């Protein structure tokens, strides 16, 4: 049915109000929450593993190291595939305000790919691993920007805290690429606090939304 000008205007006002008040209706995106939670936990554990290697607590042979590191990525992809499947089973797509947030994080993901190529090639060309270590700093900077967009739309304090934390982490990592132990410690804490923490909040809210709509 074609909307009348009045109903179209009311729909537009309802959407704008949902942005101003920070509300979303319908399905919350489980996929993004699970991705952040799983990524923060798994790659945080990987950073702890690297700290143990750097301090001599772990001295595995090369193949064992490779298997462990590969298993981290495989586990993350399995969890992400499950989350995507659950999202598809949840019904209609998210409202526009949620899709706006998804677009912000997707845009950050596209930039991440370019950063991987730039710093990866630069590190290999210059034979300097420290160049590659600037890559995580840029990732946290982009995440800080995406979370700031989220806070502007939804005004949730934890989003602003995550944005500020990401910005501080980016600066800290960028200044400490020549200090491997401190660098890894900051990266570990940031993964648990700024990825797994927000991920847990998003998963919790998504499950509450589904329970309320059941």
Q: For residue range 106-149, what is the model confidence (pLDDT) as tens digits?
A: 565 566 667 777 767 776 787 777 788 888 898 899 889 889 98
Give the three-state DSSP class for 43. Answer: helix
Res. 32: pLDDT tops 70: yes
Task: Please list, in sequence order, all residues whose beta carbon lies within 8 angstroms of the beta carbon of residue 32, skipping any fewer than 6 positions away.
Answer: 102, 105, 199, 202
Average pLDDT, stretch 17-21? 45
Q: What is the pTM of this model?
A: 0.76
Task: Please list, in sequence order, all residues whose beta carbon lies within 8 angstroms of the beta carbon of residue 86, skipping any fewer than 6 positions away.
Answer: 30, 31
Cα(72)–Cα(39) distance, rounded to whole angstroms? Answer: 9
- For the chain, the structural domain boundaries read 28-88+195-209, 96-178
pLDDT tens figures, 33-45: 888 999 999 999 9
pLDDT band at 80 (very low <50, low <70, confident <90, very high): confident
pLDDT value at residue 168: 97
């Amino acid at each position: 049915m074609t909307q009348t000008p009045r109903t179209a205007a009311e729909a537009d006002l309802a959407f704008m109000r949902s942005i101003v008040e920070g509300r979303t209706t319908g399905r919350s995106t489980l996929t993004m929450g699970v991705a952040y939670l799983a990524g923060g936990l798994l790659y945080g554990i990987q950073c702890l593993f690297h700290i143990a290697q750097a301090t001599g607590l772990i001295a595995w042979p090369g193949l064992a190291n490779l298997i462990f590191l590969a298993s981290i990525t495989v586990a993350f992809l399995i969890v992400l595939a499950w989350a995507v499947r659950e999202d598809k089973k949840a019904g209609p797509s998210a409202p526009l305000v949620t899709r706006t947030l998804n677009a912000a994080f997707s845009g950050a993901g596209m930039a991440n790919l370019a950063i991987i190529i730039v710093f990866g090639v630069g590190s290999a060309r210059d034979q300097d691993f420290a160049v590659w270590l600037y890559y995580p700093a840029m990732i946290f900077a982009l995440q800080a920007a995406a979370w700031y967009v989220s806070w502007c739309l939804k005004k949730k304090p934890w989003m602003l805290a995550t944005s500020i934390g990401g910005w501080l982490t980016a600066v800290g990592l960028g200044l400490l690429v020549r200090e491997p132990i401190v660098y890894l410690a900051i990266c570990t804490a940031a993964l648990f606090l700024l990825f797994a923490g927000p991920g847990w909040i998003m998963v919790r809210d998504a499950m509450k939304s589904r329970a309320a709509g059941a």
